[in-house]
Amino acid sequence: MCRHLAWLGAPRTLAALTLDPPFGLLRQSWAPRRMRYGTVNADGFGVGWYAPGLRPQPARYRRAVPMWTDASYASFAGAVSSGCVLAAVRSATVGMPVEETATAPFTHDTLLMSHNGRVHAAAARDELRARPGAPEPESRCDSAAVAALLWERASRLPLPTAVADVVRTLGGLTEPDGTPARLNLLVTDGTQIVATTWRDTLSYRETPAGVLVTSEPDDDESGWVDVPDQHLLVADTRKVTLSSLIS
């Protein structure tokens, strides 16, 4: 159900983050190693990045095609660098649309968000309708409703609190067939990374150049830390903090 990553630190090219690693997002689009639900991520991909000094809002490139088929992305990914990047490859939930507007990263103001998982879309939209003034989701997919809920929370709460609140609110929902919600969120505002584990995998690695948070390690080198389930991760260029979402 999707793979995603976020980088915060010294500028790196999009290719260095998504295409070049031996087990990076490009390979995860067709051969993920730790994905618990589904086998490939061929229903789209997207990348968002920040360009400080040019604009406060992030730039974004999304396609509703497999990453490995997009020669245009491969042609410019090595020429674009940023100190904060969020990227994702998508495996669409059955019944959800395969379209650009359903593909992460979702964006609002200075925020980027990706959702790795699944949640009862109708129930998430009901929760959204109960929040006057919340923005309309840009797609009918479940992840777009999650994003709109986050935008509403983040407009009045610190980002880590907003992310945790959304996951706690939706985490107890189940599909009509009894499938529980899976809510691994990855969010950034360009200065910090906030992520959750809720029934799927997440790892991170700190280096002198910065911190990389990803659904699964993109190489077999040392230094990777697996995040326990039902935890909130908050990272900036100084430290990574983990806290339980259920305590």
Check if 2 is active-site.
yes
In angstroms, the CA 187 to CA 131 distance is: 21
Nearest alpha carbon to residue 63 among 39, 88, 96, 37:
88
pLDDT of residue 133: 81
How much of the chain exceeds pLDDT 70, in percent? Answer: 100
In angstroms, the CA 68 to CA 71 distance is: 8
In the predicted model, what is the mean pLDDT of residues 6-29?
A: 98
pLDDT of residue 82: 98
> Coil, helix or strand for 86?
strand
Q: 95 in the Ramachandran plot: left (φ > 0), alpha (ψ -120 to 50) or beta?
A: left
Please say if the pLDDT value at position 236 is more than 90: yes
Nearest alpha carbon to residue 29 among 73, 67, 70:
67
pTM reported for the whole predicted model:
0.97
Over residues 54-66, the pLDDT tens digits come to 999 999 999 999 9
Angle at 86 between CA 126 and CA 38, to 5 degrees: 65
In angstroms, the CA 121 to CA 119 distance is: 6
Over residues 28-83, the pLDDT tens digits come to 999 999 999 989 999 999 999 999 999 999 999 999 999 999 999 999 999 999 99
Selecting among 1, 2, 42, 89, the annotated active-site residue is 2
Alpha-helical (H) ranges within 62-221 are 71-76, 121-129, 142-154, 159-170
Look-up: residue for tokens 């031996």?
22
> Coil, helix or strand for 187?
strand
Please say if the pLDDT value at position 164 is more than 90: yes
Please provide the CATH number assigned to the domain covering 3-244.
Answer: 3.60.20.10
